[in-house]
Structure 1
Amino acid sequence: MPKQPRPKTAMSMLTYTEHRFVIAVRNLAMIASLIAATYVQAQQATEAARSSTEQDEPVKLDVFTVRADPTREYGSSNVGSATRISTPAANIPQTISVVNAALLKDIGAYAYEQAMRYTPGVTQRQNTPNASIIRGFIVGNRYRNGFLVRAYETDMANIERIEVIKGPAASIAGASESGGLVNFVTRQPNFKEAYSASLSLGSYGYVRGVLDATGRLPGTSNVAYRFIASGLSAESWRDLERSQKLVVTPSISWRASSDTELLVELEYFSSLTPSGFSTPFLAPVRNSTPAPLPIPDGVTPKVATGQWAPVSTNTSGEPGMGRDAETVQLFATLKHAFTESLHFRQSISYVHFDESLYLAGVDNNLYYGNDGMIYANRTLSKVLTTLSFGRAQGDLVFKDKWMEDNLGATVLVGYDVGQDLSPSTDKRFTGVLPAMNLVAPTYGLPATTPLGQTVDNTAKGGSVGYFANAQVSAWQERIILTGGLRKDWNKARWTRNNFTTATTTNAKTPKVESPLYGATIKPLKWLAVYAVKSEAGAASRQVPLYPNLPLTDSRQTFTTVTPITVNEEVGAKLTLLDGAFAMNLASYKVSADGAVRTQTDLTLPGGGINVIENSNVAEGIELELSGNLSKSLAVVGGYSDTKTRASGLKPNGTPREIRGVPRTKAQLFAKYTFFVSDDTTYSIRAGVVTQDEVWGSAENTYRIPAATRFDLGFDFRFGSWDASLTLENATDEIFPQAAIAQASNSVDGPRTIYLTLGRKF
């Protein structure tokens, strides 16, 4: 079906976004000038400052930093997220996936959902930045270099690697969610000079530019800098959508001595992105019942159910809608080695976040109209959020070996404290839009009920946590015992209703414990078998029944929820081909209580309800592989088989399953490189993702079809130049992302092509 023409009323949004694009281009031009000036200054530095001894990084003792693995193109032999220090992956009794810099570059990832595409056990979500479903459960918390950062979103230009811990990791992280933890590791300053620039062009008006400069700060011998900037502008295959992003990340590293380093990072991020879901699946039944969609008397359906609506349909879009976000973040980290065995790290962070979310909400129940087309009722909403908070985090590590490496110990103790530095604001406006024809939508119709403010709250609170973890090894690390315990609590928190000036106060919560017990045995040099049990607790909290109503509304009621997740896992890790290739096989069971699911229901106050779910379970097996099968062939991917069980029953009386989780899913990405000469190579790459059908609604009333997508690419490197051509979704498959509700299911992009040209200076 042809794409609907955009109404003239959309010009207000386009004018606004084009203005933002002009600003982004201007900023990138300024950044280019800065880099050029820096480059000239570096060239004018004295020969003494450019001596060979100064071109190398100072020797330092650092147990925290994970270095790139020279033996493996994809994956990593060491990880840092699970233990907060660089630790061999084989020594950790958990499954950890690593998307390293080489893989990010080869798949052309500029967004989180692309970066996670080939990670087993992970399904992307569309409407939440940097969020996924991991092992059956939604993971929305974001970590940056080990820091929990609320509302974190970035561009992949500043990301060196992404580490994904499968299953709860609260013994270290505290706020770990049921599915696991995702940690973004940023690019750091380097004392060796390096400059690069790239430009990408692609389908739907896609334009992206990246600049990266690093090196020794001119006039110094122990200070390095890095400056990264990226700008993106693109339209979309969906009606009335356009994306724009700008990220600028300067950082400084001061090596006071070989034992002491201070890293300061500033990150500015601005984005205008789509505000919600789109492209609904035209289910054959009502969302909450197995009854067919009702057909009015005398009406002949013109649209069949059991298929996707046109990919251009945008249920959450109207002229002027979108998600406008701006984030300013400052991070400072001090690391010091007292001895070869005793190390210390102290970090502080400041984050200020502003967001304006303007979108259309879609009722889960579809219906046939008198014209025989399928419709959905819609609401109108706008949410204004401001957050300003700080966090302090400290680690003290003791690590040593004795008796010719036959006995070793690593002990880590630490803390973190988070605090709102000023009251956060939450303002909500709601209204009602005309029903939408999901097959031939008309945009820009006036609201039947204009926006009116329903919530105006301010709040302030904080959290505290401390932990201790230990690993004891014997017989040259052939036997490793791992244990940890963390305690967390929330500080007293107040929320003020600015309509009535009424204030709700929540007292300091009791301490919640999150333990971990694990063991690893290495019967062979290349084989490690492990078992682990971990728990993730969270402080009790009051959950309102109606999420879109003020807390002081007379219709509001509250339920006390105490979330807890238990993960049990056994597995084997194989390191083959002299460390160049690795495989991980795991069998797991994750059980979660106290999950909160928000469900749209326009018949209820505020148009929605919070559903509390207990005894949700995901269990299965997972195979992951990464590395080099030869010098020329690098691969990454895996397979997962997941069974889920949720509280409640299906319409047929059998136990309900968790929506949006495929029973089976397989991914494989491979690159083959042809070496022409020392400075000339070309490579071909291909990827495939296939998944089973999934439940499209929480009530398990219908299934979304299985799908398979293919990606292709070609790369050419000649000297300092790089060129790449990427074809995503080559067969133009409608590939579902995480299913949320009947009118809110979403799909990955159709066939798109990107061309990138880059140069190193």
Structure 2
Amino acid sequence: MKRWIAGRPARWAMAISALAGMAALPADAADDRKGVPRQAAGAVQTAQAAPTFRFAIPAQPLPRAIAALSAQTGIQVLYTAEQPFAATARAVEGTYTPAEALGLMLRGTGLGYRFLRADAVTLEPLPAATPGVVSLPGVSVEGRDSAAYRVRSATTATKTDTPIAKVPASVQVVPRAVLDDQQVLRIDEALRNVPGTVFVDGGEGKSIFSRGFAASVYRDGALRTEFTDGDSSATDLDAYNVERIEVLKGPASVLYGRGNPGGAVNIVTKRPLTTPAYEGRLVVGSNNLMRQQIDLTGALDPARHFAYRLNAVHETADSFRDEVTSRKVAVSPAFQWSPHGGTTVVLDGEIVNMRQTPDVGIPRQGNGPLAGVPIDRFLGEPTDRFRNRKEQARLSLDHDFNGATNLRTSVLYSNTRNDDWYTRGAAVQADGRTLNRTIIDSGFEFEDLGWQADLTHKVVIAGMEHTFLVGAELAKRKTVSIFDSAAAAPIDIFQPVYGNTAPTAAFSRFRQETDRWQAGLYVQDQIELMRGLTLVLGGRFDHVDQKRTSPGAPLPKKEDQAFSPRAGIVWQPIEPVSLYATYARSFTPVNAFPLSAGGQILEAEKADLYEAGIKLDLLGGRLSGTLAGYQIKRSNVNTPDLENPGFQVSEGEQESKGVEVSLSGEVLPGWKVIAGYAYTDARITAAANNTKGKRPAGIPEHTASLWSTYELQAGPLAGLGFGGGAVYVDDRFGTSANDFTVGGYTRVDAAVYYRGEGYTLRLNVNNLFDREYYLNPTRTPFLLPGAPRSFLLSLQANF
């Protein structure tokens, strides 16, 4: 018996639109990747310019998703088998032709589609190769709406394509549209949109904190270990090749192993597309900023089995700070091979060369800067430099066996080298104007080799749908650290004279090599107990070996083992409302330095999360919001050993409790918003020194952000848009002893832009009211000023 999903009678324009997704299919009738006979391929070549529809169809049972698509497009969809009733459609969000939308919806269901006529399509199970039936390759989504502020699904929290509404955790996504509208150049600028996320800046780079604790950074699901292992300068990551940023709040060790308890910041990069697209962008700005970047993608062969993507950026800039400059070149190529339906192989990489001036700021006096010192005063040397070179390559495989079982595996190699030579301020002499200084000559090299594999399988057991995930990970990291320092000539703070760079004493020298091996095995089950009720259970076992080598020093070794569980539940009493609760644990092996008084590496840190919240879909799904309350308890924290100065003990404890609110989406056509607020009550609950009961350094109690844009939708000025927003950061203590306070601030930004045919012109003004403020310090005698009013003007061309 045929079951019909009826739709409105379609116009011929809709019929052409329905065929557009087949226009690029190969002409070979034997090609099982697309399954289109020779005559069908030739019949659709005129559909390249077909009209499209803007879809916002959430992941849901397939029959309901098909009904929504049919109602919007007028295309009738019919099927004969029972299979669609057991399948779940993927979310379709963005601008597509009906055929493209249907293809995305059916990915992973084991179903293909065949057009019977211009306004009717049938669904059929996918055998090995059926002429005329379109099978669905496992490639990246090509039609994601580049203007959307709301993202319905994210992979970071579960490593599966799960709607955020069904994830028992707080997940925030900063999509490409927000990065473009705010003209974000670096990752730290993007994370202003994530409530409760702040940065502690030590002059050589920024460390990311979330919910009062350090967060771990990942690229496409792989841990960027330079963040975890102390290379804070690496947080100045460029956003040139970023598609979106997904932030999972709280411990994430159940899927990712060792990591910080503040959360997982996953940087999702741009993937190759088979549809040709070429973008160039020129940016000019304050302080002699000049930036050029390209984004090129498309198929490499007529059959579209091979595709590429090339992102590159070149940037030079000075600073509002005297003598501070930066130079950067980065290239990120990617090649994709889709030999047949369901299989995708991607080889991608990145090369980054960067040079910048280290800058720790200006001396502090009380809770503010030393009186009379302007914010542009630089107290290092013009010849100071920080050089960073990073090389990375990854080979990944994604294979869909039958729509219910999927394998993803990858091998990653990366090498990061830092070379520093700079003059760092120390203490101010008694005269109040002479600054003692130290010369730092240091270098770090991080070499990583890793392998990951994830196998997912969907099955119905006793009437309940299970999504099983089994994964394994092996990783090896070698770190070489060189740190030499010597006293340098002092400098007059109020009348600096540069050029005296010779050390005034012999260098003290430090050498260390650290080897770490890690193995992890994890499982997860997402169980749909009944309609609207989902249970998520998971656990991971990790084994970590560390060995330290240092000339003339002991050679400590350390083995850590840990089990990291997670349990969560989501209840949707009605479709737009999700109530959730979760528990999770993190596992963070301590680096091989510092050591205990006995010469041993310290015990691994652990943290436990308890969280509950509510997620809402508002205004018919155009707007989404999350309200979350949490408590994180961290144990085995390093704290000074009072009986053995210079050493550490694992006796510290910290706790953070708080509430977070976030909102993102489209209020009305053309009016988009992303906003958030966080209350963070972070405390040191146990310590060997006198910091018990105090707040951790650099963590504000209140933070908030708002960004909104409006674009005219019709009339002669259609495409003209305006935007603006504000960031609020509360007072922060400068040290864990809470002996001085860095004042809070509110910074206002604004933008105006025009989207023309094939181009976009943008003007952004940051710190519109020229507010003087200071960033979070880690070099406690100093404060690093935030940038005064600045502008960015860009021209983007698309072909």
TM-score by length of 2: 0.77
Question: Counterparts of 1:618-697 in structure 2 under 5 Å?
Answer: 618-647=656-685, 655-676=693-714, 680-697=718-735
1:544–1:556: 8 Å Cα contact kept in structure 2?
A: no
Instruction: Give the one of 477, 483, 494 matched to 2:537.
Output: 483
Q: CA deviation at 1:738?
A: 2.4
Question: Counterparts of 1:181-192 in structure 2 under 5 Å?
Answer: 181-192=264-275
Could you tell which deviates more after superposition, 652-661 or 531-540?
A: 652-661
1:249–1:265: 8 Å Cα contact kept in structure 2?
A: yes
1:322 aligns with 2:390: no
Could you tell which deviates more after superposition, 586-595 or 519-528?
A: 586-595
Paired residue type of 1:666: A
Q: Hey, what does 2:38 align to over in structure 1? A: none
Identify if the C-alpha distance between structure 1 residues 654 and 590 changes in structure 2 by more than 3 Å, giving closer, same or farther: closer
Q: Hey, what does 1:105 align to over in structure 2? A: 180
Q: Hey, what does 2:467 align to over in structure 1? A: 410
Q: CA deviation at 1:177?
A: 0.5
Q: Hey, what does 2:557 align to over in structure 1? A: 506
Q: CA deviation at 1:556?
A: 9.1
Q: What SS does the corresponding residue of 2:680 show, helix, strand or coil?
A: strand
1:63–1:86: 8 Å Cα contact kept in structure 2?
A: no
CA distance in 2 between counterparts of 1:720 and 1:650 reads 62
Q: Hey, what does 1:205 align to over in structure 2? A: 288
Instruction: Give the one of 562, 570, 576 matched to 1:526.
Output: 576
Structure 2 gap ranges (5+): 1-23, 29-40, 50-98, 109-136, 228-233
CA distance in 2 between counterparts of 1:400 and 1:280 reads 62
Identify if the C-alpha distance between structure 1 residues 138 and 318 changes in structure 2 by more than 3 Å, giving closer, same or farther: farther
CA distance in 2 between counterparts of 1:155 and 1:50 reads 41
Q: Hey, what does 2:437 align to over in structure 1? A: 378
Q: CA deviation at 1:142?
A: 2.4
Report Cα offsets for 1:243-292 as digits up to 9, x if no partner: 111111111111111210001102111111232432444225xxxxxxxx
Q: What SS does the corresponding residue of 2:353 show, helix, strand or coil?
A: strand
Q: Hey, what does 2:409 align to over in structure 1? A: 346
Q: CA deviation at 1:517?
A: 1.2
Q: CA deviation at 1:210?
A: 0.6
Instruction: Give the one of 446, 458, 463 matched to 2:513.
Output: 458
CA distance in 2 between counterparts of 1:411 and 1:260 reads 20
Identify if the C-alpha distance between structure 1 residues 209 and 125 changes in structure 2 by more than 3 Å, giving closer, same or farther: farther
Q: Hey, what does 1:31 align to over in structure 2? A: none
Q: Hey, what does 1:427 align to over in structure 2? A: 482
Paired residue type of 1:388: E
CA distance in 1 between counterparts of 2:275 and 2:140 reads 17
Identify if the C-alpha distance between structure 1 residues 327 and 557 changes in structure 2 by more than 3 Å, giving closer, same or farther: same
Q: Hey, what does 1:737 align to over in structure 2? A: 775
Q: What SS does the corresponding residue of 1:565 show, helix, strand or coil?
A: strand
Q: Hey, what does 1:748 align to over in structure 2? A: 786
Q: What SS does the corresponding residue of 1:125 show, helix, strand or coil?
A: strand
Q: What SS does the corresponding residue of 1:656 show, helix, strand or coil?
A: coil
Q: What SS does the corresponding residue of 2:192 show, helix, strand or coil?
A: coil
Q: What SS does the corresponding residue of 1:151 show, helix, strand or coil?
A: helix
Structure with the bigger RCO (C-alpha within 8 Å, sep 6+) is 1
Identify if the C-alpha distance between structure 1 residues 495 and 174 changes in structure 2 by more than 3 Å, giving closer, same or farther: same
1:313 aligns with 2:389: no
Q: CA deviation at 1:522?
A: 1.0
1:576 aligns with 2:618: yes
Q: Hey, what does 1:137 align to over in structure 2? A: 213
Q: Hey, what does 1:387 align to over in structure 2? A: 446
Q: Hey, what does 1:88 align to over in structure 2? A: 163
Q: Hey, what does 2:356 align to over in structure 1? A: 273
Identify if the C-alpha distance between structure 1 residues 541 and 695 changes in structure 2 by more than 3 Å, giving closer, same or farther: closer
Q: What SS does the corresponding residue of 1:257 show, helix, strand or coil?
A: coil
Structure 1 gap ranges (5+): 1-41, 285-303, 547-554
Identify if the C-alpha distance between structure 1 residues 355 and 475 changes in structure 2 by more than 3 Å, giving closer, same or farther: same
1:261–1:335: 8 Å Cα contact kept in structure 2?
A: yes
Paired residue type of 1:579: G
Q: What SS does the corresponding residue of 2:393 show, helix, strand or coil?
A: strand
Identify if the C-alpha distance between structure 1 residues 610 and 677 changes in structure 2 by more than 3 Å, giving closer, same or farther: farther
Identify if the C-alpha distance between structure 1 residues 128 and 622 changes in structure 2 by more than 3 Å, giving closer, same or farther: farther
1:163–1:183: 8 Å Cα contact kept in structure 2?
A: yes
Report Cα offsets for 1:30-59 as digits up to 9, x if no partner: xxxxxxxxxxxx9xx999899469999897
Identify if the C-alpha distance between structure 1 residues 462 and 558 changes in structure 2 by more than 3 Å, giving closer, same or farther: closer
1:72–1:581: 8 Å Cα contact kept in structure 2?
A: no
CA distance in 2 between counterparts of 1:240 and 1:48 reads 62
Q: CA deviation at 1:719?
A: 0.4
Q: Hey, what does 2:547 align to over in structure 1? A: 493
- Higher Rg of the two aligned structures: 2
CA distance in 2 between counterparts of 1:503 and 1:119 reads 43
2:734–2:780: 8 Å Cα contact kept in structure 1?
A: yes
Paired residue type of 2:471: G
1:483–1:517: 8 Å Cα contact kept in structure 2?
A: yes
Q: CA deviation at 1:459?
A: 3.7
Instruction: Give the one of 335, 346, 355 matched to 2:398.
Output: 335
Report Cα offsets for 1:651-689 as digits up to 9, x if no partner: 999821111111111110000111246995010000101
1:684–1:715: 8 Å Cα contact kept in structure 2?
A: yes
CA distance in 1 between counterparts of 2:647 and 2:361 reads 21
CA distance in 1 between counterparts of 2:472 and 2:47 reads 38
1:489–1:539: 8 Å Cα contact kept in structure 2?
A: no
Q: CA deviation at 1:221?
A: 2.8
Q: Hey, what does 1:585 align to over in structure 2? A: 627
Identify if the C-alpha distance between structure 1 residues 666 and 129 changes in structure 2 by more than 3 Å, giving closer, same or farther: same
Q: What SS does the corresponding residue of 1:742 show, helix, strand or coil?
A: coil
Instruction: Give the one of 176, 179, 196 matched to 2:259.
Output: 176
TM-score by length of 1: 0.81
Q: Hey, what does 1:14 align to over in structure 2? A: none
Q: CA deviation at 1:475?
A: 2.5
Q: CA deviation at 1:543?
A: 4.1
Residues matched between the structures, number: 670
1:632–1:672: 8 Å Cα contact kept in structure 2?
A: yes
1:613–1:647: 8 Å Cα contact kept in structure 2?
A: no
Identify if the C-alpha distance between structure 1 residues 592 and 442 changes in structure 2 by more than 3 Å, giving closer, same or farther: farther
2:731–2:741: 8 Å Cα contact kept in structure 1?
A: yes
Identify if the C-alpha distance between structure 1 residues 655 and 720 changes in structure 2 by more than 3 Å, giving closer, same or farther: same
2:708–2:723: 8 Å Cα contact kept in structure 1?
A: yes
